[in-house]
Structure 1
Amino acid sequence: MTTVQIPQRMNFATAAPKVFRAVLALDAAARQGLDPVLVELVQIRVSQINRCAYCIDYHAGDARKAGESEERILQLSAWEESSLYTAEERAALALAESVTLLPQGVSDAVYAEAAQHFDEQQLAQLIALVFTANAWNRMNVTTRKTPGTA
């Protein structure tokens, strides 16, 4: 099998170090108070939607380190059809998809379901996690950062 090398356009961390550090800080703040496995599941799903190969690879590795099963990682793109996710995870994934696909809007039903599983602070953290994942995805897709690039 021959793989295709996709040239990276720039190293964003080097080109805009203050912005990169700010997004790192935002990422760390957004994770606070949330279950580490849930964090990775949400980040993988957002990255799948945004087609960010780097982030999918990165967060799948972190999910494995946090104890997530390969089966749940592989079924994440079809989580609605899978019986492997809890009601809380399903609510978080639905909210993550709605926030990521913002032109479609975040329905009252999706928001209410998430609010049943997360208190207001956790819900705010979850929303922050999703918009931070989207920022990383946009940074990495635009600069063509792929798995294996620095």
Structure 2
Amino acid sequence: MSRVSIKTKDDLPADLRPLWDKMTTYGAFENQAGVMAHRPPIFKHTWSLLVDLADEAVLSKRHLELALVTVSLLNKCTYCVSHHAPKLAIQGVSEDGAERLLDYKDHPELDEVDKLVVEYAIAVTQNWNKTRDEVFTRLREHFSEAQIVELTWRIALCGAFNRFNDILQFDIEQGVPVREAAE
């Protein structure tokens, strides 16, 4: 049960309600958005950023979801794994495959670029101050600098979402299958 109340679209100032509608096209994140709605600037800037990044789509959905599920598994965020593992399934990684992303080196559903994305998500989440230049040399073989910047930002932001979601303990929305992230 959520530690704070969950607001709805109707609780937002009128000028932010169209953003709520855009947010729902991103996925069933109404509880997360409803908690953010306690502070309209947080709701506005977070969801404007996410909607804009989705509209511009410089990263493939597969690589983005690989990164987000990896971070959420590392941080044991059931809310985010539940929301993003199904999106990863649409991109061709099975439910079992999503559950074992952290064992990426011999993962049969991942190609070399996928494995690099998972490796990088782990590095940004756990080893940001010890990551070698060699990783960036390999990233540059497959991604532009803009894509590397966005991938890094999305991984770091996902870690922030994991903490926000878990500390406030809001429920997973009705209809979203619960995918346990904790061991």
Do these two structures clear the TM 0.5 threshold for a shared fold by scoring above it?
A: yes
Equivalent residue pairs, number: 143
**Which residue of the partner structure matches residue 131 of structure 1?**
156
* 1:47, distance to aligned residue in structure 2 (A): 0.6
* 1:30, distance to aligned residue in structure 2 (A): 4.3
TM-score by length of 2: 0.68
* 1:49, distance to aligned residue in structure 2 (A): 0.9
Residue 124 to residue 103, structure 1, CA distance change in 2 (3 Å): closer
**Which residue of the partner structure matches residue 15 of structure 1?**
38
- Segment of structure 1 superposing worse, 13-22 or 35-44: 13-22
What is the CA–CA distance in structure 2 between the aligned matches of 1:67 and 1:17, rounded to whole Å? 36
Contact 2:102 2:118 in 1 (8 A): no
What is the CA–CA distance in structure 1 between the aligned matches of 2:111 and 2:90, rounded to whole Å? 20
Matched, 1:76 2:101: yes
* Structure ranking higher in helix proportion: 1
**Which residue of the partner structure matches residue 3 of structure 1?**
none
Alignment RMSD (CA, Å) = 2.2
Taking every aligned residue pair, what percent have the same amino acid on both sides? 23
Residue 26 to residue 100, structure 1, CA distance change in 2 (3 Å): farther
Residue 30 to residue 109, structure 1, CA distance change in 2 (3 Å): farther
Q: How do 1:39-78 residues align onto structure 2 when only pairs under 5 Å count?
A: 39-78=64-103
**Which residue of the partner structure matches residue 116 of structure 2?**
91
What is the CA–CA distance in structure 1 between the aligned matches of 2:50 and 2:156, rounded to whole Å? 9
TM-score by length of 1: 0.80
What is the CA–CA distance in structure 1 between the aligned matches of 2:106 and 2:66, rounded to whole Å? 16
- Greater RCO between the two (CA within 8 Å, min separation 6)? 1
What is the CA–CA distance in structure 1 between the aligned matches of 2:158 and 2:53, rounded to whole Å? 10
What is the CA–CA distance in structure 1 between the aligned matches of 2:108 and 2:89, rounded to whole Å? 19
What is the CA–CA distance in structure 2 between the aligned matches of 1:128 and 1:41, rounded to whole Å? 14
* 1:46, distance to aligned residue in structure 2 (A): 0.5
Structure 1 residues without counterparts, runs of 5 or longer: 1-6
Larger C-alpha radius of gyration, 1 or 2?
A: 2
1:63-92 Cα offsets, whole Å, 9 max, x none, are 234444334223213212323211111111
Structure 2 residues without counterparts, runs of 5 or longer: 7-34, 175-183
* 1:97, distance to aligned residue in structure 2 (A): 1.1
